[in-house]
């Protein structure tokens, strides 16, 4: 049974994350929103702190770097890596989503490694900052349409293709690349490979200009006869057509609750600041008063807070299930769908409630509204999440329900 109180062992970690969000991220948030592609040098001092927050626990990391999907079955109630990760990221993204995404050695690719790597690979890549490369010019939400190929050549694989919108693609030490071993075999042939920075044939060809999360670099990367050791293939090299690409898809069971946590964090930032500014204007929320006796502004805030709480609870449930060895694919998609949509609605709604103050750069509210949009897009769009949920509920395959 899931307990909704914050586990005591995570409270120091959460407190540290709050301090980072309030005293490091918030003061430089606007600076790096205006200076897109500039590396936030202030984060260098945090790298050692974040490593310490991760290594000082029994595997319960502060960011995505230590995230894992351990299929352990037990009779107790485990609160471990996945839950601590989402709790920490909620606090960090209350400070700034883009800066949270560009923390050294806390990349989404690290979660991918933890999801499907063997123990030797986990140790070998433990100190690497790993980005994740899935999206291609002709392949967005449909991961099965990947055109990048990986051809076996002795003790190596030769990778050819192009990836776009790679978060931290320029700054990371390595990129987890999704590629097909045989495009004729469809989904089952898609595998993930760790390609380390500086590997011949791998080239960052441009950095994207974006609506939000500007502190985070987003790169386009080409792979031209890029030779990668066979030992860098994550998971099994066998192509099992009866299992589809369940192995690499397990990555999403890890990362979708992470993205949901980011959405919960930025939505909370907007709600908190809106309350503060409305209180200064003399608008107080009285939770004992019936809706019909409340103002429009008050009732909208109540609705937003209820929406936020639903997103938060779904996110905690998905993470808790992973910690307790329970298959969480549907719950991960539910959390991602709800939190992404809610964050969009809440941040934009708060801008609207505050009028010109919410729309101007005097406040961070307009920035949070821009930042929140990506959280409903990457790691699978809203529509894809709903499709996955429908397949699970109706017990349909991807071929049966498209």
| Cβ-based burial of 167 (10 A; exposed 0-12, middle 13-18, buried ≥19) | buried
CATH number of 246-394: 1.20.140.10
Domain boundaries, the chain: 8-124, 130-240, 246-394
Radius of gyration of the chain (CA): 21
d(CA 62, CA 65): 8
pTM: 0.92
Q: Is 208 a catalytic residue?
A: no
- Three-state DSSP at 362 gives coil
Give the C-alpha distances (Å, rounded to integers) separating 393 from 331, 338, 381, 387, 390.
Answer: 11, 16, 19, 10, 5
CATH class given for the domain over 8-124:
mainly alpha
Give the active site residue among 305, 309, 379, 400: 379
How far, in Å, CA of 221 to CA of 167, rounded?
Answer: 11
- Residue among 262, 156, 260, 169 at smallest CA distance from 208: 169
Q: How many Cα atoms occupy the beta-carbon half-sphere of 26 within 13 Å?
A: 17
Provide the residue-wise pLDDT of the chain in tens; the chain has 402 residues: 777 888 999 999 899 999 999 999 999 999 999 999 999 999 988 876 666 555 544 443 334 444 454 545 455 688 888 899 899 999 999 999 999 999 887 778 888 888 788 999 999 998 899 999 999 998 877 777 899 999 999 999 999 999 999 999 999 999 999 999 999 888 889 999 999 999 999 999 999 999 999 999 999 999 999 999 999 999 889 887 665 555 567 778 888 999 999 999 999 999 999 999 999 999 888 888 887 788 999 999 999 999 999 999 999 999 999 888 899 999 999 999 999 999 999 999 999 999 999 999 999 999 999 999 999 999 889 999 999 999 999 999 888 998
The fold for domain 130-240 equals: Butyryl-CoA Dehydrogenase, subunit A; domain 2 (2.40.110)
Dihedral, 357, 362, 364, 369 alpha carbons, nearest 10: 50
Tokens at 367, concatenated: 């920035």
């Amino acid at each position: 049974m899931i307990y909704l109180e914050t586990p005591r062992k995570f409270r120091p970690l959460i407190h540290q994350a709050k301090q980072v969000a309030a005293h490091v991220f918030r003061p430089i948030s606007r600076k790096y929103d205006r200076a897109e592609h500039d590396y936030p040098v202030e984060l260098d001092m945090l790298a050692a702190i974040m490593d310490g927050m991760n290594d000082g626990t029994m595997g319960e990391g502060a960011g995505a770097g230590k995230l894992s999907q351990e299929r352990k079955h037990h009779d107790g109630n485990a609160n471990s890596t996945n839950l601590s990760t989402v709790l920490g990221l909620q606090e960090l993204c209350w400070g700034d989503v883009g800066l949270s995404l560009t923390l050294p050695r806390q990349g989404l690719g690290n979660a991918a490694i933890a999801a499907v790597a063997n123990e030797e690979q986990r140790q070998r890549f433990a100190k690497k900052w790993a980005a994740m490369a899935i999206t291609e010019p002709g392949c967005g939400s449909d991961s099965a349409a990947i055109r990048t190929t990986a051809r076996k050549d002795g003790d190596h694989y030769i990778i050819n293709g192009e990836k776009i919108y790679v978060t931290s693609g320029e700054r990371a030490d390595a990129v987890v690349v999704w590629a097909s071993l045989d495009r004729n075999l469809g989904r089952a042939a898609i595998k993930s490979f760790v390609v380390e920075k500086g590997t011949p044939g791998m080239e960052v060809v441009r950095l994207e200009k974006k609506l939000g999360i500007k502190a985070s670099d987003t790169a386009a990367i080409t792979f031209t006869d890029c030779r990668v050791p066979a030992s860098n293939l994550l998971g099994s090299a066998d192509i099992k057509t009866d299992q589809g690409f369940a192995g690499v898809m397990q990555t999403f069971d890890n990362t979708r609750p992470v993205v949901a946590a980011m959405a919960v964090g930025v939505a909370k930032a907007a709600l908190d600041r809106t309350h503060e500014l409305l209180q200064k204007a003399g608008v107080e929320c009285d939770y004992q008063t019936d809706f019909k006796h409340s103002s429009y502004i008050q009732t909208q805030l109540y609705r937003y807070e209820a929406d936020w709480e639903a997103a938060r609870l779904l996110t905690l449930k998905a993470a808790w299930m992973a910690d307790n060895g329970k298959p969480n694919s549907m719950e991960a998609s539910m959390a991602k769908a709800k939190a992404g949509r809610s964050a969009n609605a809440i941040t934009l709604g708060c801008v609207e409630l505050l009028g010109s103050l919410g729309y101007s750069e005097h406040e961070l509210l307009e920035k949070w509204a821009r930042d929140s949009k990506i959280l409903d897009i990457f790691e699978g769009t809203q529509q894809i999440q709903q499709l996955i949920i429908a397949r699970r509920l109706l017990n349909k395959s991807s071929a049966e329900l498209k």
